[in-house]
């Protein structure tokens, strides 16, 4: 809920909506929230928040069905000079009890401007603890409305495979009231590869707010999009949307392409030994970015990838940088001696090691026991 401040509140019900608990303030200075349920009580919340003269995207997570005290304030997704607005969030649990991948998509445009209008996104491999850099899924200088919807398949049990996106590009440039509606989907195998990224419909429609007229879902195992539009090839100059339309399609063919062509070459392995004292070894693999002709990143070629491997403490503070250089594709081994940047021995406790290689980001936990 958003009031004049604005603040973000949650309110919950556990009896099918018969009664509702008291509202709980979860974040000040937030607007246009989107909330998504993950699994095992985990709930993900994104929102706009004003900072530095523009809007950025905030992210918080509840570990217990939005209950008071269960919210954790995590790293903000964006902190740039553009207005990042209308975020959408979806979480992907690839195994029933696995830490989810989370994607957030949002509008991204210069402050006070409507063009170029970008559809930005970021992802996290560890439930929102750390986020990738911000990516651009699509961009337009011709249209000043862009709005997206993110959703996860959930009716075929776990593991879930994909997070889906549909987005709408349109605008108020008479007589061109056509909207372009696109669809794509992404998996944890390659968090920046959006397969099936295609325009699904071009339709006479318009809206003050495209978010209200384009939504995605599943229909008996197939992906589907619903939108509001005029009667094709009807008069595009009327005031009302006259129909609801729905389209669905199978994505089976994409499985062959994904399995045959996109290889998950990046990986971060568990350290050994763990727990350790005072030395442990970390293995990781740097892959080579690839893309298809119809994918967004047409410039991707095999090349060295800028790679960092860093140690953080439980407060998120940087303890040690082990790797910070471009690296060729291959498997690497790095030893950590339990010392910080000043060669001081660190205390016992939990530490995180985080690999960032191009678009690939992953973090793991380890325990130093003295």
By the rule CB under 8 A, 32 interacts with other proteins: yes
User: Which residues in the 163-182 window bind other proteins by CB under 8 A?
Assistant: none
* Of residues 221, 227, 144, 222, the one with CA closest to residue 182: 227
Which position among 174, 175, 233, 240 is part of the footprint of other proteins (CB under 8 A)?
A: 240
Q: Are 354 and 130 in contact (CB under 8 A)?
A: yes
The helix/strand/coil state of 314 is coil
User: Which residues in the 285-344 window bind other proteins by CB under 8 A?
Assistant: 292-294
User: Considering only 51-59, 217-225, 282-290, 356-364, which stretch makes contact with other proteins by CB under 8 A?
Assistant: 217-225
Place of tokens 């372009």: 180
By the rule CB under 8 A, 246 interacts with other proteins: yes
Q: Are 307 and 325 in contact (CB under 8 A)?
A: yes
| 187 backbone dihedrals φ, ψ, rounded to 5° | -130, 170
Distance in Å, CB of 186 to other proteins, minimum: 17
Structure tokens that stand for 368 in this block = 């130093």
Which position among 241, 266, 351, 360 is part of the footprint of other proteins (CB under 8 A)?
A: 241
By the rule CB under 8 A, 200 interacts with other proteins: yes
Residues in contact with other proteins, total (CB under 8 A)?
A: 73
Contact code string over 68-87 relative to other proteins, x by CB under 8 A? --------------------
Nearer to other proteins, 33 or 171 (CB): 33
Which position among 28, 111, 142, 257 is part of the footprint of other proteins (CB under 8 A)?
A: 257
Antiparallel, parallel or unpaired: β 117-124 and 101-110? antiparallel
By the rule CB under 8 A, 201 interacts with other proteins: yes
Q: Are 55 and 83 in contact (CB under 8 A)?
A: yes
Secondary structure letter of residue 211 according to DSSP: G
By the rule CB under 8 A, 281 interacts with other proteins: no
Place of tokens 């589907």: 224
d(CA 349, CA 365) in angstroms, rounded, equals: 10
Q: Are 282 and 334 in contact (CB under 8 A)?
A: yes
User: Considering only 49-57, 115-123, 225-233, 279-287, which stretch makes contact with other proteins by CB under 8 A?
Assistant: 225-233
By the rule CB under 8 A, 155 interacts with other proteins: yes
Q: Are 71 and 58 in contact (CB under 8 A)?
A: no
Which position among 9, 114, 176, 332 is part of the footprint of other proteins (CB under 8 A)?
A: 9
* Of residues 163, 158, 216, the one with CA closest to residue 186: 163
By the rule CB under 8 A, 26 interacts with other proteins: yes
Nearer to other proteins, 35 or 76 (CB): 35
Nearer to other proteins, 2 or 75 (CB): 2
Place of tokens 């007229």: 213
Distance in Å, CB of 309 to other proteins, minimum: 33
By the rule CB under 8 A, 8 interacts with other proteins: yes
């Amino acid at each position: 809920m958003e009031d004049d401040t604005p603040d973000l509140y949650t309110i919950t019900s556990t009896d099918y909506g018969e009664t509702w608990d008291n509202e709980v303030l979860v974040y000040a200075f937030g607007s246009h929230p989107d909330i998504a349920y993950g699994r095992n009580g985990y709930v993900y919340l994104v929102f706009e928040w004003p900072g530095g003269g523009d809007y950025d995207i905030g992210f918080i997570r509840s570990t217990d069905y939005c209950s008071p005290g269960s919210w954790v304030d995590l790293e903000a997704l964006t902190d740039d000079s553009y207005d990042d607005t209308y975020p959408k969030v979806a979480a992907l649990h690839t195994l029933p009890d696995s830490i989810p991948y989370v994607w957030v998509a949002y509008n991204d445009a210069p402050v006070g401007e409507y063009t170029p209008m970008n559809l930005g996104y970021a992802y996290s491999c560890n439930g929102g603890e750390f986020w990738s850099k911000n990516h651009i899924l699509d961009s337009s200088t011709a249209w000043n409305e862009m709005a997206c919807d993110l959703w996860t398949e959930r009716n075929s049990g776990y593991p879930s495979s994909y997070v889906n996106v549909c987005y709408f590009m349109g605008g108020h440039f008479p007589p061109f009231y056509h909207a372009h509606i696109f669809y794509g989907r992404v998996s944890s195998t390659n968090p920046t590869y959006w397969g099936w990224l295609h325009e699904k419909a071009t339709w006479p429609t318009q809206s003050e707010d495209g978010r209200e007229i384009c939504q995605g879902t599943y229909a008996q195992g197939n992906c589907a999009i619903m939108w509001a539009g005029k009667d094709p090839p009807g008069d595009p100059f009327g005031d009302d949307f006259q129909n609801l339309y729905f389209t669905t399609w199978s994505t089976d063919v994409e499985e062959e392409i994904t399995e045959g062509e996109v290889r998950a070459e990046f990986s971060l392995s568990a350290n050994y030994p763990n727990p350790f004292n005072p030395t442990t070894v970390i293995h990781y693999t740097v892959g080579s970015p690839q893309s298809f002709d119809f994918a967004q990143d047409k410039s991707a070629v095999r090349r060295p990838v800028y790679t960092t491997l860093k140690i953080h403490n439980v407060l998120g503070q940087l303890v040690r940088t082990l790797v910070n250089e471009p690296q060729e594709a291959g498997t690497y081994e790095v030893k950590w001696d339990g010392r910080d940047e000043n060669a001081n021995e660190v205390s016992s406790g939990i530490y995180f090691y985080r690999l960032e290689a191009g678009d690939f980001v992953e973090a793991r936990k380890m325990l130093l026991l003295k």
